[in-house]
Amino acid sequence: MPVRATADLADLRGRLRRPLAAEGVPAEQVLLELVADVRGGLNASAGGRFFGWVIGSSVTAAVGADWLAAAWDQNAASYSTAPAAAVVEEVVGEWLKSILGLPPSASFALVTGCQMAHVTCLAAARHALLAQRGWNVETQGLFSAPAIRVISGGHRHGSIDRALRLLGIGTNQMAELPTASDGRLDAGLLESALAASPDAPTVVVLQAGDLNIGAFDSFSELIPIAKKYGAWVHVDGAFGLWAAASPRLRPRMSGASMADSWATDGHKWLNVPYDCGYAFVADGAAHRSAMATRVNYISYSSDVRDEGDWNPEWSRRARGFPTYAAIRQLGRGGIAGLVENCCDHAHALVTGIGRLDGAEVLFMPTLNQGLVRFIDRRAGAGPADHDRRTDAIVEAICAGGEALFSGTMWQGRRAMRVSVCSWRTTASDVERTVSCIARALEEDAPGPSG
């Protein structure tokens, strides 16, 4: 199938907007028609030549376990509603902390994605920072509470801002510090921002793998500074936290275990199906105070781990099964291999693209993310022309159906982002992709008349 969906909005609405029927249809017919109706409306994000955004595919055992989770239809809210699911999550949490190099004593939650992992972690942060100031946010709310300040670099993901909105902290509380061209936060800038209001309850958000270039903040340098001012340090590691799984890449994460909370995804780099994210909190009591809720129609026992004590959802799917299956299928070595292969393929892809006439490398991957752009070679062409050609080539590549990339803004310029996150990507996918980009560039080249 072409990597990018070929059906347009009118096609899809035309097929899928069936009249709401009074009478049902046999299940098999429903499924066969669904398959026919979505034809051309799926992106091949499960395949090996999908390099857009940061989207992983799924390993086989995880897909199978996800089907089982649906078929078994457990409500993984607590041990008593789904005993095996509760134990699987307990095991998965321990495995994940070990793979990701996080403190064994940290608490955790399996949530829908990194967005909700941020919400869960920052709810724990909100609890702890205000409890230290004699304020119980769970009962008193935020009206009249001391204002929480958030410090982060300009390279953060938009899901941090939405977490602040959902938690009632508000995006105006965000003090954004400029990041250097290497995408990292400067220690001096962080220290002076903290020193400007040394007693304010503060969250510092650091990045393990930013969305454009996969940059890692210097945890060993920045976290002690934040701690000196009593700040809560949260790490957004939606995909970058997985660097810890690879002995080769683990040094990037050096010092990250000193943070207070960490958010990451399963559906990106572990290659499990959606929806799967993970939240980890060093202060388990703060985490539990922010989330736990008990009702009299469920029986609780002290020696089990009830997911509802840690998760923001009430009823929920047993999303521990696919993670359990993926980790068992891959093992430690397989996860390290998956992460390293993606990085190697990203490097090869950007290197190959960089050799093409009209392409320019903006960022050579140091993890799994790189940036290129396409230059307008006509005499007198300026920045706006390069931006235009970059967008035109990205569109031509996607329209060709061989590979998919997304455009982005980087340091004021349009760029094409190269993100490799799938176990399915092979060296031959890389070769085929470079060839299709070469063709797109040739077809777009200005004629002899300019």
Ligand X SMILES: *Cc1c(COP(=O)(O)O)cnc(C)c1O
State which of residues 50, 219, 229, 239 lies at the interface with ligand X (CB under 6 A). 239
Structure tokens at 92: 């998965």
Nearest CB to ligand X, comparing residues 236 and 376 = 236
Closest approach of ligand X to the CB of residue 368, in Å: 11
H or E element in which residue 433 lies: helix 427-444
Indicate the residue among 257 and 369 with the shorter CB distance to ligand X.
369
Q: Are 290 and 138 in contact (CB under 8 A)?
A: yes
Q: How far is the CB of 200 from ligand X (least distance, A)?
A: 25
CB count in 10 Å sphere of residue 421? 29
Question: At closest approach, how far in Å is the CB of 207 from ligand X?
Answer: 7
Using the rule CB under 6 A, which residue among 3, 5, 54, 77 binds ligand X? 54
Residue nearer to ligand X on the CB measure, 269 or 374: 269
Q: Does 236 bind ligand X (CB under 6 A)?
A: yes
Cβ neighbors of 334 (< 8 A, separation 6 or more) are none
> Binders of ligand X among 246-265, rule CB under 6 A?
265
Q: Closest by alpha carbon to 43, among 368, 390, 401?
A: 401
Which residue's CB is nearer to ligand X, number 201 or number 266? 266
Window 55-94: contact mask with ligand X (x via CB under 6 A): ----------------------------------------
The verdict on 211 binding ligand X (CB under 6 A) reads yes
Is 235 among the residues that bind ligand X (CB under 6 A)? no
Please state the closest distance from residue 159 (CB atom) to ligand X, in A: 4
> What is the spatial distance between Cα 142 and Cα 173, in angstroms, rounded to a whole number?
13
- State phi, psi for 287 to the nearest 5 degrees: -60, -50
Torsion of CA 97, 102, 107, 112, to 10 degrees: -60
Report if residue 113 touches ligand X, rule: CB under 6 A: yes
By the rule CB under 6 A, 217 interacts with ligand X: no
| CA atoms 40, 41, 47, 48: torsion sign | positive
Q: Which residues contact 123 (CB under 8 A, 6 or more apart)?
A: 167, 290, 291, 312
- Our finding on whether 277 is near ligand X (CB under 6 A) is yes
Helices (H), 101-197: 114-131, 137-140, 158-166, 187-196
Note whether 115 binds ligand X by CB under 6 A: yes
- Say if residues 439 and 62 touch (Cβ distance below 8 Å): no
Is 238 a binding residue for ligand X by CB under 6 A? The answer is: yes
Rounded least distance, CB 115 to ligand X, Å: 3
CB nearer to ligand X: give 210 or 283: 210
* 52 contributes a contact to ligand X by CB under 6 A: no
CB of 218 to ligand X, least distance (A): 17
| Region near ligand X per CB under 6 A, out of 66-74, 111-119, 286-294, 357-365 | 111-119
Residue 152 interacts with ligand X (CB under 6 A): yes or no: no
Q: How many residues bind ligand X (CB under 6 A)?
A: 12
Shortest distance in whole angstroms from residue 32 CB to ligand X = 31
CB 279, min distance to ligand X, A: 11
Using CB under 6 A as the binding rule, whether residue 159 contacts ligand X is answered as yes
209: left (phi over 0), alpha (psi -120 to 50) or beta: left
Neighbours of 400 (CB within 10 A): 17
User: Can you tell me whether residue 261 is helix, strand or coil?
Assistant: strand
Figure out which of the listed residues 65, 114, 204, 231 binds ligand X, where binding follows CB under 6 A.
Answer: 114
Q: Shortest gap between Cβ of 411 and ligand X (angstroms)? A: 18
In this structure, are residues 234 and 152 in contact, taking their beta carbons and an 8 Å threshold? no
Name the residue nearer to ligand X (CB basis): 112 or 257. 112
Cβ distance to ligand X smaller for residue 81 or 368: 368
Q: Starting from the edge strand earliest in sequence, which strands make up the sheet with 413-419, in order?
A: 359-363, 369-374, 413-419, 406-410
Q: How many CA atoms lie within 13 A of 17 on its CB side?
A: 6
Residue with tokens 């902390």: 97
Cα gap 148→169, rounded to integer Å: 7
Element (H, E) at 98: helix 83-100
Q: Which one of 165-173, 232-240, 311-319, 422-430 is the stretch in contact with ligand X (CB under 6 A)?
A: 232-240
388: three-class secondary structure by DSSP: helix
120 within 8 A of 164, measured Cβ to Cβ: no
**CB closer to ligand X out of 55 and 86:** 55
Binding mask 319-358 for ligand X (x = CB under 6 A): ----------------------------------------
3 state SS of 213 = coil
Among 157, 316, 317, 389, binds ligand X (CB under 6 A): 157
Pairing of strands 369-374, 232-236: unpaired
Residues that bind ligand X (CB under 6 A): 54, 113-115, 157, 159, 211, 236, 238-239, 265, 277
